[in-house]
Amino acid sequence: MRQGRPNAARDQELGMGRAIDRRDFLDGAAAALGAALAGPAFAAPPASQDQPGYYPPSLTGMRGSHAGSFEAAHRLRDGAPPLGHAEGSVERYDLVIVGGGISGLAAAAFYRAAKPEARVLILDNHDDFGGHAKRNEFSLQGRTELVNGGTWAIDSPRPYSVVAGGLLRKLGVDPVALKARCAKKSFYASLGLGRGVFFDRETFGADRLVVGVAAKPWPELLKDAPLASSVKDDIARIYEARIDYLPGLSSDEKKARLARMSYADYLTKTIEADPGFLRYFQKMTHEE
């Protein structure tokens, strides 16, 4: 350890022994007095989250279909004439994209990749880009209602196409790793919630909710569903019976054959399910 210098030498270097004249004394006293009188003016300002009215979504624009984003469309819906011709200077673009969601942004990225010097204009009715990949927020009867946007299902196109997957990799998005890190499969169960199926009157003839998907055997689950008995039996068969509907074919041959047929044909012709079965299974794919 290096030994320090003698105290006397250190004090002399710091000016400890120097005489203080009247001007220095008064200037120092005035500065100290001013700081003391100023008080809170010299204190650090409150943190952002402690400011009145602090609400990040209203500052960042991540609010989904907020007020101001849908009024023009509603006026058109209600019969109002479209907006007139915009006045002012004319700007020219090589590509104009309506909608700043993932499709519009991807189209702009691919176009610029092919034509780096191109001028691209993206129009959107929201105050931020991202489309449905954000949360949606509404005020309903004095309460703020929130629902997650499209990002919650970013892992659902399985697998991504070569083009879409390449764009995600370029953006540094790894859906598999994201789901592994962020998905909480036990969240809804921890709230006492479970999966169910809602049968709507328009499609099935009655509005009915059956609950217990993945918790009850299918025959029990569908006991009160507004479906014909043959349809219920076929649904249970599809989910519970271990049947190879393309016997004698290799995995690659099965994939090749399935790629050449529609889902409806697979259900009715390959599996030979009741045609009424389609209303149930085809409806299940709509959310995808």
Residue 176 and residue 220 in one domain = no
Query: What Cα–Cα distance (Å) separates residue 85 from each residue in 56, 90, 125?
Result: 36, 12, 18
pLDDT at 61 over 50: yes
Residue 197 and residue 162 in one domain = no
Q: Examine residue 73 and state whether it is found in any structural domain, yes or no.
A: yes
Residue 145 and residue 210 in one domain = no
Where is average pLDDT lowest: 80-84, 189-193, 232-236? Answer: 80-84
pLDDT at 241 over 80: yes
Q: What three-state secondary structure class fits 129?
A: coil
Q: Examine residue 86 and state whether it is found in any structural domain, yes or no.
A: no
Q: Domain of residue 71: give its range.
A: 62-80+93-185
**Rounded Cα gap, residues 280 and 160, in angstroms:** 26
Query: Residue 145 is encoded by which pair of tokens?
Result: 């209602």
Query: Residue 33 is encoded by which pair of tokens?
Result: 């007095």
Query: Residue 38 is encoded by which pair of tokens?
Result: 């100023």
pLDDT at 104 over 50: yes
User: Which residue would you say has higher pLDDT here, 154 or 252?
Assistant: 252
Total number of domains constituting the chain:
2
Domain end call among 185, 214, 229: 185
Domain end call among 168, 185, 202: 185
- pLDDT tens, 250-260? 999 999 999 99
The CA-based angle 231-235-238, given to 5 degrees, is: 135
Question: pTM of the full predicted structure?
Answer: 0.50
Residue 220 and residue 237 in one domain = yes
Q: Examine residue 26 and state whether it is found in any structural domain, yes or no.
A: no
Residue 66 and residue 161 in one domain = yes
The CA-based angle 55-60-64, given to 5 degrees, is: 90
> What's the whole-number average pLDDT of the chain?
79
The pLDDT of residue 1: 39
| Mean pLDDT within 213-235 | 92
Residue 139 and residue 217 in one domain = no
Q: What three-state secondary structure class fits 196?
A: strand
Q: Examine residue 153 and state whether it is found in any structural domain, yes or no.
A: yes
- pLDDT tens, 4-58? 444 455 445 445 555 555 444 444 544 444 444 444 444 567 777 788 877 766 6
Residue 157 and residue 248 in one domain = no
